[in-house]
């Protein structure tokens, strides 16, 4: 298969013909020309938006371990095969089968008011009729942790700490623990149930869900997220120490024996097929919206980047492996993906990066170690400068939840997207296709294809330290 434009094909053949290019060491000038041509083709229009449109329209939400997630994996296999990828297959693994139930919350005193709430994934359930109890409200998570064991017995704990808006999402990273571990910590202190202000930068009354976790042997208590305006309403009502009382109904269920699916596909390398550049996003989503920005967009962006490389007149030297992970939202995909790959196999992975931050453009790329100072870093900086984007001089601190378990053996990179408004939508019913701008998503594809192609068709070694 070839590119649609004669100019792009000419740029890709310009060095000295396909046979000669395959036999020789990488030519930096040709690599640079190819990366620029791929970038420009992405900007003209890529496969990303059609992939995302069809995934969110034909399948919709894709809750981990659900039948909809399995349908999404089967859909992806058919789509990737039709796009010309090789070695397309599904890797299944066990997960908790958690399903959302009824969700209602109501303030009983000092006044009767409905509150918008949603269950947190992996949380327990109230009785069908719900529970009614006094509220122990804390304005910060640290205040709740300061309470002694047993001091919150019989109470519904509510934490209302607000999240800070930040381009790089660091506001979320600093508070995610209060959602992920808050219910277990509240249970240790005797809480009957736990509610957290949504990890959101929106003023919408739609609550934002997400996973919570309990240590082995601890029975999960009911736990949920309040919408931002409802959390702020409780803050105001609690001024002066006024007692609050609430009725809560959350009835999720667990189904034993559930499995999730990761879909894997390759663009097989022409010279070093055992050396792998791993990219991808996660295919599962929460069930409130249709998982457009989290993370249908990431799956679509990396698929489109790999497709552009697959359509080149000749394959890159190394294999580009695309992974569309299952069960990222409940933190199972990464350990499962790494577990079936020995340390020896992982040592053949040149670099790995995950796209899981929406559909906005990439503004910076952080590389492993001192790679920014190598010739690869210089080529990548030149390729992405027109987007505009830059290569971060600081090393990558991680590359995504699904590839983090590979970190001991695999260098990780991070392509940083603009997340200024990401958490307005993330994990909520507003996560739908209409929030995605196709042209801005193609800018993300342009950065991803430059990064991936240069890693796959050059001889860069991300483990080698660059000179200072």
Buried/exposed 16-38: b ≥16 CB within 10 Å, e otherwise = eeeeebeeeebbeebbbbbbbbb
Q: Which two tokens stand for residue 134?
A: 């006094």
- State how far the alpha carbon of 267 is from the alpha carbons of 88, 270, 303, in Å: 10, 9, 11
Q: On the CB side of 181, how many CA atoms lie within 13 Å of its CA?
A: 10
Spatial distance between the Cα atoms of 287 and 93, rounded to a whole number of angstroms? 20
* Cα 97 from chain centroid (whole Å): 20
Q: Which residue, 224, 256, 259, is CA-closest to 332?
A: 259
What are the residue numbers of the active site? 328
Q: Which two tokens stand for residue 151?
A: 């001091």
What is residue 239's DSSP assignment? G
Q: Which residue, 253, 257, 283, is CA-closest to 71?
A: 283
Residue whose pair of structure tokens reads 């298969």 in the numeric block: 1
Q: C-alpha angle with apex 29: 27 to 34, nearest 5 degrees?
A: 95
Dump strand ranges (E) for 190-317. Answer: 193-197, 223-226, 245-250, 253-255, 259-267, 272-282
Give the contacts of 136 (CB within 8 A, at least 6 positions apart): 144, 147, 152, 155, 156, 157, 158, 191
Spatial distance between the Cα atoms of 439 and 376, rounded to a whole number of angstroms? 27
Buried/exposed 41-78: b ≥16 CB within 10 Å, e otherwise = bbeeebbbbebbbebbeebbbbbbbbebbbebbebbbe
Q: Which two tokens stand for residue 44?
A: 């003209």
Q: Which residue, 311, 263, 298, is CA-closest to 453?
A: 311
Give me the residues paired with residue 266 across strands.
86, 321
Q: Which residue, 289, 324, 286, 284, is CA-closest to 88?
A: 324
Q: Which two tokens stand for residue 350?
A: 């040149």
């Amino acid at each position: 298969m070839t590119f649609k434009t004669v100019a792009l094909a000419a740029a890709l053949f310009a060095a000295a013909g396909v046979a000669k290019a395959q036999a020789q060491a990488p030519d930096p000038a040709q690599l640079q020309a190819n990366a620029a041509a791929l970038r420009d083709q992405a900007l003209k229009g890529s496969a990303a938006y059609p992939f995302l449109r069809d995934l969110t329209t034909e399948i919709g939400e894709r809750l981990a371990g659900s039948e909809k997630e399995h349908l999404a994996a089967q859909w992806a296999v058919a789509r990737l095969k039709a796009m010309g990828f090789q070695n397309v297959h599904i890797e299944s693994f066990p997960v908790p089968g958690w399903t959302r139930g009824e969700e209602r919350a109501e303030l009983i005193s000092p006044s009767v008011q409905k509150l918008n709430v949603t269950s947190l994934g992996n949380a327990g359930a109230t009785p069908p009729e719900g529970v009614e109890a006094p509220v122990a409200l804390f304005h910060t998570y640290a205040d709740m942790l300061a309470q002694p064991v047993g001091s919150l017995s019989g109470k519904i704990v509510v934490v209302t700490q607000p999240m800070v808006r930040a381009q790089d999402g660091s506001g979320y990273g600093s508070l995610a623990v209060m959602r992920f571990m808050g219910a277990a910590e509240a249970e240790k202190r005797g809480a009957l149930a736990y509610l957290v202000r949504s990890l959101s930068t929106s003023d919408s009354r739609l609550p934002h869900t997400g996973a919570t976790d309990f240590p082995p042997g601890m029975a999960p208590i009911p736990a949920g997220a309040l919408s931002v305006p409802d959390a702020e309403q409780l803050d105001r009502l609690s001024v002066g120490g006024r007692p609050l009382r609430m009725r809560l109904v959350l009835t999720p269920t667990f189904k034993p024996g559930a499995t999730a699916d990761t879909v894997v596909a390759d663009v097989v390398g022409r010279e070093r097929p055992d050396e792998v550049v791993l990219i991808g996003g996660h295919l599962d989503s929460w069930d409130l919206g249709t998982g457009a920005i989290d993370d249908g967009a990431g799956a679509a962006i990396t698929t489109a980047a790999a497709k552009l490389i697959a359509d080149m007149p000749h394959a890159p030297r190394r294999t580009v492996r695309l992974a569309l992970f299952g069960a990222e939202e409940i933190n199972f995909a990464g350990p499962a993906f790494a577990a079936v790959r020995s340390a020896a196999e992982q040592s053949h992975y040149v670099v790995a990066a995950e796209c899981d931050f929406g559909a906005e453009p990439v503004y910076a790329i952080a590389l492993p170690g001192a790679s920014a100072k190598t010739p690869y870093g210089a080529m990548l900086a030149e390729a992405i400068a027109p987007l505009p984007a830059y290569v971060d001089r600081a090393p990558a601190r991680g590359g995504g939840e699904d590839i983090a378990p590979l970190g001991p053996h695999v260098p990780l990179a991070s392509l940083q997207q603009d997340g200024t408004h990401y958490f307005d939508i993330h994990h909520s019913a507003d996560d739908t296709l209409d929030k995605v701008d196709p042209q801005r998503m193609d800018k993300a594809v342009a950065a991803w294809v430059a990064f991936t192609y240069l890693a796959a068709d050059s001889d860069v070694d991300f483990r080698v330290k660059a000179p200072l």
